Amino acid sequence: MTTAIYAEKLAKRYRAVDALRGLNLSVPEGSIYTLVGPNGAGKTTAIKIFMNIMEPTSGTAEVLGLDSKQVKGKVLSQIGYVSENQKLPLWMKVGEFFEYLRPFYSTWDRDLEGQLIIQFDLPANRRLKQLSRGMRMKAALASALAFRPKLVVMDEPFSGLDPLVRDELCQAILRRPEGSTVFLSSHDLAEVETFGTHLGFLENGMLRLSEEIVSLSARFREVDLLFEGQAPVVSNLPESWLHVSTFPSGLRFIETHFDEERTNADISERFVNVKRTFRQMSLREMFVALAKTSQGKF
């Protein structure tokens, strides 16, 4: 499988702080890959290294098959970059902004530009400084998509935006040029669940999980066991059962490698006369479960 972004043993150290600790990452070409994690996990640091805004302390980073240190000049004509703190020429009008950008990209598509302006309801004659934050983010994304890049990189694009604007951004990402890859960091797991294809969970500079969202959703379940009397003492439980808790007549846990036949067999091996229910979990619930455990990868 061809990768759009690749990292091996990537590390970044700021004096006494390790922002990245041996990050290994592979982003499949054509995917919508979301990197999630708590504040300070290293998401923005990783993106800045991929975009050659900063250099790693050690390790390897590749973007579109090139060392990240070569991401400059003509290479940037293949990459659209949008960040939470995007700096735009606020004195320009929206129309002037797009007119200014066109000559830099040989693949700029005027028809696509027009479609994005209409889709985002961007006012061509209004200055960027007069737009709301959400409208400026839409202008930034439109400018990053109009030249049909092979890769779109977005750092916290949904942060602080109202639901309608977030929905418009999500729809634009889904309608991205065919074959292009989207790599973004986000805390908005509800939105990611509707359009992402892959998810990476970064914590303390290390990638604890990287998986297709369909696969991830299939193997996580919240399990409730209800006993006829007092819940028995629990011991010798499978490693895949997380956050086991008991209540007077029941037991609850999260199964991280759910397989109906195997999970039922594991339960039957340990308990008798028990009623069991399996509930599919949202990405947010999975993220919280992972964030609360000190185990390695899942």
Query: How far apart, in whole angstroms, are the C-alpha atoms of residue 176 and residue 189?
Result: 20
Per-residue pLDDT of 47-106, as tens digits, reads: 999 999 999 999 999 999 999 999 999 999 999 999 888 889 999 999 999 999 999 999
Burial string for 215-233 (b: 16+ CB within 10 Å, else e) reads: ebbeebbbbbbebeeebee
E-assigned strand segments in 76-148: 79-83
DSSP for residue 197: S
Return the residue matching tokens 């409208």. 135
Rounded average pLDDT over 176-189: 85
Q: What is the pLDDT of residue 100?
A: 96
Phi, psi (deg, nearest 5) at residue 252 = -130, 140
pLDDT at 1: 60
Residue ranges with strand state E in the chain: 3-14, 17-28, 32-36, 58-63, 66-67, 79-83, 151-155, 181-185, 198-203, 206-212, 221-227, 241-247, 250-255, 274-280
Q: Please, which residues have CB within 8 angstroms of residue 122's CB and are 6 or more apart in sequence?
A: 94, 116, 135, 138, 139, 142
CB 73 within 8 A of CB 105: no
pLDDT score recorded for residue 263: 95
Q: What is the three-class DSSP state of 96?
A: helix
Range in 1-5, 47-51, 158-162 the model is least confident about:
158-162
Q: How far apart are CA 35 and CA 214, in angstroms?
A: 16
Determine the average pLDDT of the residues in 156-174.
Answer: 82
Are residues 155 and 83 in contact, defined by beta-carbon separation less than 8 angstroms?
yes
pLDDT of 261 above 60: yes
Q: What is the pLDDT of residue 195?
A: 83
Task: Tell me the residue length of the chain.
Answer: 298
Q: What is the mean pLDDT of residues 119-140?
A: 92
pLDDT for 122 equals 94
Per mean pLDDT, which range of 168-177, 187-196, 258-267 is the poorest?
187-196
Angle at 3 (CA atoms; ends 287, 102), nearest 5 degrees: 100
Label residue 172 by pLDDT band (50, 70, 90): confident
162 pLDDT band, cuts 50/70/90, is confident
Q: What integer pLDDT is reported at residue 234 of this predicted model?
A: 77
Query: Across the strands, what pairs with 17?
Result: 14
